């Protein structure tokens, strides 16, 4: 596997029992694995440092509700990273 590893921030999985992880490995626009950076790094050809930002993998809000909440509350500032994989709508 030669994916992109996202790490260095707070990564919420929204999964019971494993709600926060160190890293997410993405290949061809799909999440392949979540877990510890050391375990996933061997399968990554590229590493993206989140620089302390928050990541919500696979959170898709097609109606922009999340952005509406952000705007109403004064915005996220620079604390949240929005990622969009190539090839997704």
CB contact at 8 A, 82 and 23:
no
Task: Give 10-23 pLDDT, tens digit per residue.
Answer: 998 888 887 899 99
Q: Which of 83, 80, 82 is nearest to 9 (CA)?
A: 80
User: According to the model, what pLDDT value does residue 57 have?
Assistant: 77
| pTM for this entry | 0.66
Task: Give 26-66 pLDDT, tens digit per residue.
Answer: 998 888 999 999 999 999 999 999 999 988 876 665 555 66
């Amino acid at each position: 596997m030669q994916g992109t590893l996202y790490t260095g921030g707070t990564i919420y999985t929204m999964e019971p029992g494993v709600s926060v992880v160190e890293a997410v490995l993405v290949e061809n626009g799909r999440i392949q694995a979540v877990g510890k950076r050391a375990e996933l790094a061997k399968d990554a050809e590229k590493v993206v440092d989140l620089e302390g930002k928050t990541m919500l993998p696979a959170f898709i809000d097609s109606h922009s509700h999340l952005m509406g909440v952000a705007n109403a509350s004064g915005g996220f500032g620079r604390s949240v990273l929005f990622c969009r994989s190539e090839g997704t709508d």
